[in-house]
Amino acid sequence: MDWGGPSFVIAIIAVSYGAWIINNWIRAKHGYELEDEWGGKSKPTNASKANEAETARLKAENRELNDKLDTMQDRMIVLEKIVTDRGYSLSEEIEALRDIPTKADPGTPLNFKTKETKT
């Protein structure tokens, strides 16, 4: 290829314009302002304003869902503490309630039995 010939200059100009067109296409696709030949910016279109409203709505919804998730995680921590910290004694209390006769005095203390080991 002749580096000083007109075909090389035309190729550089074609690549430059092609890159400019691709750049503007990508910017328009994602809602950014477009550039003209001299580096000036054009105003966003109405579609991008609608996209901004949709983005704001989605951000608010995302914030709301994150708050709900934080609340649910706090509740789950409390439930895990109830289940794991008192899991063994809770099952003993349930079994002790099954052993109480139906005519028992409600003020009667529960009879907890510890598990005996066989020797």
Q: Which of 79, 100, 97 is nearest to 89 (CA)?
A: 97
- Give the H/E segment covering residue 9: helix 6-29
| pLDDT tens string 67-81 | 999 999 999 988 887
Pairwise pLDDT comparison (96 vs 12), residue with the higher score: 12
> Between the CA of residue 105 and those of 30, 88, 93, 101, what are the distances in Å?
74, 25, 17, 9
What tokens does 15 get?
A: 């690549």
**Domains of the chain: which residue ranges?**
15-44, 54-92
Q: What is the pLDDT of residue 30?
A: 79
User: Which amino acid appears at position 116 of this protein?
Assistant: E
For residue 35, the cross-strand partners are: 41
What tokens does 106 get?
A: 């409600």
Q: What is the pLDDT of residue 31?
A: 72
CA distance 13 to 95: 87
| pLDDT tens string 10-64 | 889 999 999 988 988 888 887 777 766 666 666 655 666 777 888 899 999 999 9
Q: What is the pLDDT of residue 102?
A: 58
Q: What is the pLDDT of residue 98?
A: 73
CA distance 59 to 61: 5
Who contacts 28 (Cβ-Cβ below 8 Å, separation ≥6)?
A: 34
